[in-house]
Amino acid sequence: VQLQASGGGLVQAGGSLRLSCAASGRTFSGYVVGWFRQTPGKEREFVAGIKWNSRNTYYADSVKGRFTISRVSAENTVHLQMNSLRPEDTAVYHCAASRTIIQSSIGVPSAYNYWGQGTQVTVSS
The string of pLDDT tens digits covering residues 58-91 is: 999 999 999 999 999 999 999 999 999 999 999 9
Confidence category of residue 10, pLDDT binned at 50, 70, 90: very high
pLDDT over 90 percentage in the chain:
95
Please give the order of strands across the beta sheet that includes 2-6. 2-6, 17-24, 77-82, 67-72
Asked whether residue 49 carries a pLDDT value surpassing 90, the answer given is yes
What is residue 25's DSSP assignment? S
pLDDT at 25: 86
Query: What is the C-alpha to C-alpha distance for residues 121 and 7, in angstroms, rounded to an integer?
Result: 8
Asked whether residue 112 carries a pLDDT value surpassing 90, the answer given is yes
